[in-house]
Amino acid sequence: MIPAPASGEVKERDRFPYATWGPWIAIGGTVAALIAGLVLSLPIFLLDGGADTDDLSLFATVAVQIFTAIGFVLIPFTLAISYGGGGFREAFHRLGFRSFDIAQSTMWVVLGILSYFAFSIVYAVIFGTPEQDDIAGDFGPIQVQILLIVIVAPFAEEICFRGMLFGGFRRRLPLWAAAPAAAAVFGLLHYSTGWSTVVPLMFLGMVFAVVYEKTRSIWPAIGMHMFNNALALIVLTA
């Protein structure tokens, strides 16, 4: 847990939200992150013979996923450094990389998982079980699937969608408005895995945002995201 200053007052750099940019900059940063991933992936498409995205080789598919993740990390750090200065250390802090109270964070993560499971059950009863495309198989060996889906994707996406996007929204909006706004972007950008999964992923994005704010650190949200993706991978590959 972050120690309180001796004076009893919270330092400005430790006030939540940590972002020093607003909603429009956050939206622009998200668009830039997507574009950066595409630009970095362009040589791969060309080397792969200009193949359709649905007909890429295993190497190209994995490389595109990695470059997309790089875009999701590179742009938020660039933005965090540009808006406030201080170098990479301060950028880490502005994106939510803080120490946290283990007991309190565990409580919020457990509550988040239970609320998402409850929502998923109700959603499935009303609308049917979401049909999610099995993208895991596109990444080849199980070790690569675990690396990309369970480790790389949660880390990069939390930096982009919670650290940068939600952080920027939260700078001007209350939690009840900022969390759904950022979660809507998060969910819609996962449409490629199946449209029926968009709403559940929006709810999950809101849960991640609440966990991030309540724990004052992005680490618990990253851990929860990894757990969710690991569980999804188990289900898809079972």
pLDDT at site 72: 98
Q: What is the per-residue pLDDT for 94?
A: 97
pLDDT over threshold 50, residue 7: no
Q: In the prediction, which pLDDT does 10 show?
A: 58
> What pLDDT does 8 receive?
43
State residue 192's pLDDT score: 78
Residue 55 or 148, more confident: 148
pLDDT in tens, 165-216: 999 999 999 999 999 999 999 999 988 777 889 999 999 999 999 999 999 9
3-state secondary structure labels for all residues of the chain: CCCCCCCCCCCHHHCCCCCCCCHHHHHHHHHHHHHHHHHHHHHHHHHCCCCCHHHCCHHHHHHHHHHHHHHHHHHHHHHHHHCCCCHHHHHHHHCCCCCCCHHHHHHHHHHHHHHHHHHHHHHHHHHCCCCCCCCHHHHCCHHHHHHHHHHHHHHHHHHHHHHHHHHHHHHHCCHHHHHHHHHHHHHHCCHHHCHHHHHHHHHHHHHHHHHHHHHCCCHHHHHHHHHHHHHHHHHHHC
pTM, to two decimals: 0.92
